[in-house]
Structure 1
Amino acid sequence: SPASSETITVTFSPTEVKSYSGTISITSNATSSANSLSVTGTGIDSATFTTSLSSTSLSFSDLTINTTSTMDFTITNTGNQTIEVTNITAPAGFSLSATAATISPASSETITVTFSPTEVKSYSGTITITSNTTSSANSLSVTGTGIASDTFTTSLSSTSLSFGNLTINTTSTMDFTITNTGNQPIEVTNITTPAGFSLSATTATISPASSETITVTFSPTEVKSYSGTITITSNATSSANSLSVTGTGIAVVPTYTINIAPIINGKCLSCHQNPPINSAPMSLTTYTDVKNAVQTRGLIGRVENGSMPKNGTPLTAEQIQLIKDWMAGGFIE
């Protein structure tokens, strides 16, 4: 009617994610009036509040107590609405660079996790994220182990080795052991010995709680006392690094069986048999015979003045000295 109005309600019903626009046209018997208006709108996705995590777990390497190590994880907004992270919690031993964040669609927030062990033990738990997400990953596991401070220490099985008396030009061996009492590998770069002694090894790599056995060989070449220090060079910062070693080289002590009998058998038994022949005054066929001849019958004097062997090749100076040394050594059989 004249001077009246009609209100029209326009409903926008998008079915696709796109822009819509056009003109609403009015057809009437009006002869002069506005008969159209433009209309626009955009169809968008339903509101989504979702996130994803860059990792489901963080595993820290073993770490010396009272030191720190860091690892990162990322929260990504995979929805189309702003994500409000209101809290992030971490278990004991771990801390976070941030506990809240606002993350726009298609954006991310990186969180740094710091592991700070104060005891020698294993640490583990869950990092939990509280936010307005309706469907998303909201936690990740975290683990780490606190270990003792690096220690480079060793112990020795002995502080000294005593070889005692040893005949010259022979050898004797004794062992000592280097034990790694720390928690880091020990690198033995050199072991030195005094003259007269040698080693089975002069370098070694020794793992924690392991040992290296070194064989020491005593090889005297002179009749004298040998002594000195075996010195160990390594990366140990606090440890025993030396041991003393002693030994004495002594002269060869002849025995009847090895040294004297061959001389007597070769030089004297043509006459000094049992019984003796060719006017020989005594038998020299046994250990006791020869010992008695040296002690009571002047055997050494006889071979020195050439009266023995009678009509035979005289003993050499070395052979005579062996008989003298045998007597001096106590007539060892």
Structure 2
Amino acid sequence: MTTPASGDQDEELPVSAVNPPIMVLLVDDQVMVAEAVRRALLCEPEIEFHYCSNPAEAVAIAKQVQPTVILQDLVMPTVGGLDLVRQYRDELQTSSIPIIVLSTKEEASVKSDAFRVGANDYLVKLPDRIELIARIRYHSAAYVSQLQRDEAYRALRKSQQALMESNLELQRLTNVDGLTGLSNRRFFAEYYETEWLGAIREKKAISILMVDIDHFKQYNDTYGHLAGDEVLKSVAESLRENFRRPRDLVVRMGGEEFIVILPQTTATELAALATKVVLAVEALNLPHLASPVAPYVTISVGGATRLPEPDEFSFSLVEAADKAMYEAKRSGRNRAVMSKGYLAE
């Protein structure tokens, strides 16, 4: 007989134990019964027998041994067998271990009580050796199978979680400009269409700003492409800092061109925001001695606002903002121009 010392472990049953041998824990205050059960199982090498004579230690020993079957005496002097069954079921580590209740009585009401509190089986002691082993094998196999299913499920969930995280990261990367960290053209199309339809439903204005760095080719020719990349990142960060509302979206469309989606923004608000961002880029004071506009990096901004109609072409607003931006360039650059024929207050 093996009687482990009382102990307590708070950890959940380890996954590595999903293929254990048959582990039997007998909880009975009668040593003669324990010896009879031990002898009955002696010729079964794959069955490991453990015995607990003190019911007060039964739950702790069950946590330590991690049996695949518990043989539980029903009547003991200090703790009732049914109370112990309830205790096993209340503990995470023992809640699903099969329990075979051993009783001296073949009474339906006693059996009913045992099953009601969580027992899996009921035997009148001492049971026939062949029947005892058969029931131990049956319940142990069912328990191990359940552990294996749980392990497979956990592995599947872990794999699904990893795949989902990978897909989310891949989606994020496909929607983000690698240089500036802003959203890219691909995401712009999806997001803009969503906000345009939202503006129609909400009957709210939606605004667009087109932003272009002035004489950027000359900057690259003078300072080199690595310096040009740093300018793109600096301008992108300035745009990000100036448009921080939850639904605002700053996008790098490609090259030195950016676009900003501003839901629920009127023409008056847009004009003020456009001027603010022109001044913000000026304030960066990034040297650009090759620019005929100023000795530092500047931008040209075009804006358009619309209260959209259901049958209206959504990209007409983008086109209007783009035309306004080119008007800003033609009129001297380093400024913002609002579309005259495409406004909504």
Fold match by TM threshold 0.5: no
- TM-score range (shorter-chain normalised) is under 0.3
Q: TM-score, normalised by structure 2?
A: 0.19
Higher percent of residues as helix: 2
Structure with more relative contact order (C-alpha pairs < 8 Å, separation 6 or more): 2
- Normalising to structure 1: TM-score of the pair? 0.20
